[in-house]
């Protein structure tokens, strides 16, 4: 009867031991949530639990790991550095009362306590991502463009966590993405929209794309933000205007040439050599500039 009871006790203890209830030789540290997200200026709870019994007393340390920099958060029973006064310890877990984007990091909870095999330690790592709403994006929209050319509109903001996605609007209406369903519709999409990079590509741009454009950055955290409206004017290549400007340039050049010719004939060059040279040089560069200007315009 006594031996039977002893056997039962032994069975019970080994069962509890295998479940981890009766271990004093190993320290187990774990977390209810190893990937914590919290909105900026709100609270965050970093859970850290362990199996060290109260009577033994666990030594608790928290560290923050940012890239290759490790700094103390909680040490010798107090919060240190910029965590002083804005965090509290709850058993071995911590509650940050007001997180900012600078708190995004990995946090390590380290527990040490005496065990049968000497000092034992255990640790768990928790990542904290502080969610930040988008800032107002900066948009690049050309004021004017020539139809038939390639035009890219850009939109970017860099505060949002997670990274913002982008939407473009023309004349107040959203520009739809080129989805499978849209491809069945009558009006074809004449642009390439990249919602990740924020670029809106017209290849080529047409007169129809003239309008008032703005872009919106959104990331599900807080309200979407938009940039100021900008107008893009797309015009056809105006052939008669180009011909007219070429004719004007040719006329200017011809009259310059005539002027120099008559000046030479009247003998200005021999009398006021240096001053005349200067002014004729000036004239040539002026008309050259004009010419280059027109050339680039044609191209
Ligand atoms: C949280 O911190 C920010 C800046 O550190 C401060 O402006 C804000 O008032 C704080 N909010 C609360 C509720 O303490
Ligand atoms: C958007 O741009 C990124 C980076 O250039 C690229 O990896 C991605 O495939 C593009 N997405 C679309 C839909 O074109
Ligand atoms: C594009 O131009 C055509 C006529 O040239 C017009 O019928 C059509 O409505 C325009 N489309 C848009 C989106 O403005």
Q: How far apart are CA 147 and CA 136, in angstroms?
A: 30
Q: By residue range, what is the domain housing residue 76?
A: 27-131
CA of 123 to the centre of ligand 2 (A): 40
152 and 218 in a single domain? The answer is yes
91 and 156 in a single domain? The answer is no
CA terminus-to-terminus distance, the chain: 107
Q: Which ligand is nearest to the CA of 130?
A: 1
Of the residues 131, 159, 193, the one at which a domain ends = 131
Q: How far apart are CA 64 and CA 108, in angstroms?
A: 6
Instruction: Please give the tally of structural domains in the chain.
Output: 2
* Residue list, ligand 2 pocket, CB within 6 Å: 194, 196-197
Of the residues 235, 262, 294, the one at which a domain ends = 235
Nearest alpha carbon, ligand 1 atom 14: 98
- Helix (H) / strand (E) containing 125: strand 118-131
Best residue among 44, 88, 98, 100 to mutate for probing ligand 1, ranked by most atoms within 8 Å of CB = 98
89 and 159 in a single domain? The answer is no
Q: How far apart are CA 75 and CA 105, in angstroms?
A: 18
Q: Cα 218 to chain center, whole Å?
A: 11
> Would you give per-residue pLDDT tens digits along the chain (299 residues)?
445 555 555 555 455 444 444 444 589 999 999 999 999 999 999 999 999 988 888 999 999 999 999 999 999 999 999 999 999 999 999 999 999 999 999 999 999 999 888 889 999 999 999 999 999 999 999 999 999 999 999 999 999 999 999 999 999 999 998 777 777 777 778 899 999 999 999 999 999 999 999 999 999 999 999 999 999 999 988 776 777 788 888 888 888 778 777 778 777 666 555 544 554 444 544 555 554 444 444 44
CA of 198 to the centre of ligand 2 (A): 10
What is the model's pLDDT at position 297?
46
CA separation (Å) from 76 to 69, 73, 84, 92? 20, 10, 13, 12
CA separation (Å) from 194 to 125, 158, 166? 36, 16, 8
Of the residues 181, 206, 235, the one at which a domain ends = 235
Residue 74: CB atoms within 10 Å: 22
Q: How far apart are CA 88 and CA 97, in angstroms?
A: 8
158 and 112 in a single domain? The answer is no
Q: How far apart are CA 284 and CA 189, in angstroms?
A: 49
Q: Which ligand is nearest to the CA of 177?
A: 2
Structural domain contains residue 222: yes
What is the model's pLDDT at position 17?
47
Question: Counting atoms of ligand 1 from 1, which one is nearest the CA of 86?
Answer: 14
* Residue list, ligand 1 pocket, CB within 6 Å: 41, 98, 100
CA of 153 to the centre of ligand 2 (A): 15
What is the model's pLDDT at position 296?
47
Question: Counting atoms of ligand 1 from 1, which one is nearest the CA of 98?
Answer: 1
CA of 187 to the centre of ligand 3 (A): 9
Q: How far apart are CA 161 and CA 185, in angstroms?
A: 35
161 and 121 in a single domain? The answer is no
Specify the CATH number for the domain of residue 148.
2.60.40.10
> What three-state secondary structure class fits 252?
helix
CA of 180 to the centre of ligand 2 (A): 17
Nearest alpha carbon, ligand 2 atom 13: 194
- Reported as half-sphere exposure (CB side, CA atoms, 13 A), residue 20 has a value of 7
Nearest alpha carbon, ligand 2 atom 9: 194
77 and 159 in a single domain? The answer is no
Residue pair 119/128 in contact (Cβ under 8 Å)? The answer is: no
106 and 198 in a single domain? The answer is no
Q: How far apart are CA 129 and CA 99, in angstroms?
A: 10
Strands 230-235 and 192-194: unpaired
CA of 199 to the centre of ligand 2 (A): 9
153 and 231 in a single domain? The answer is yes
What residues does 81 pair with on adjacent strands?
none
Nearest alpha carbon, ligand 2 atom 5: 197
55 and 116 in a single domain? The answer is yes
Please classify residue 252 by burial: count the beta carbons closer than 10 Å to its beta carbon, then call 0-12 exposed, 13-18 middle and 19+ buried. middle
Between the CA atoms of 36, 38, 43 and 44, what dihedral angle is there, to the nearest 10 degrees? 10
Give the gyration radius of the chain's Cα atoms. Answer: 37
Question: Counting atoms of ligand 1 from 1, which one is nearest the CA of 41?
Answer: 1
Q: How far apart are CA 247 and CA 173, in angstroms?
A: 43
CA of 209 to the centre of ligand 3 (A): 9
């Amino acid at each position: 009867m006594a031996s039977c009871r002893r056997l039962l006790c032994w069975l019970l203890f080994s069962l509890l031991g295998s479940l981890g209830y009766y271990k004093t030789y190993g320290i187990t540290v774990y977390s209810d949530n190893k990937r914590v997200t919290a909105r900026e200026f709100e609270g965050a709870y970093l859970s850290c639990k362990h199996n060290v019994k109260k009577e033994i007393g666990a030594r608790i340390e928290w560290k923050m790991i940012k890239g290759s920099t490790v700094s103390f958060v909680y040490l010798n029973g107090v919060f240190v550095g910029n965590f002083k006064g804005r965090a509290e310890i709850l058993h071995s877990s911590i509650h940050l009362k007001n997180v900012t984007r600078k708190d995004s990091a990995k946090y390590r909870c380290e527990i040490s306590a005496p065990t049968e095999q000497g000092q034992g330690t255990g640790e768990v790592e928790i990542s904290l991502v502080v969610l930040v709403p988008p800032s107002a994006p900066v948009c690049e929209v050309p004021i004017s463009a020539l139809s038939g050319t390639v035009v890219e509109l850009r939109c970017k903001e860099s505060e949002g966590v997670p990274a913002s996605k982008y939407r473009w609007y023309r004349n107040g209406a959203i520009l739809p993405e080129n989805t499978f369903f849209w491809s069945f519709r009558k009006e074809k999409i004449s642009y390439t929209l990249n919602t990740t990079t924020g670029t809106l590509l017209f290849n080529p741009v047409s007169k129809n794309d003239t309008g008032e454009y703005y872009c919106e950055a959104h990331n599900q955290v807080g309200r979407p933000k938009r940039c100021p409206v900008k107008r893009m004017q797309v015009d056809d290549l105006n052939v008669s205007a180009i011909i007219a400007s070429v004719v004007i340039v040719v006329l200017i050049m011809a009259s310059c040439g005539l002027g120099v010719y008559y000046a030479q004939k009247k003998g200005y060059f021999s009398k006021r050599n240096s001053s005349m040279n200067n002014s004729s040089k000036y004239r040539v560069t002026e008309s050259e500039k004009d010419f280059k200007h027109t050339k680039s315009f044609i191209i």
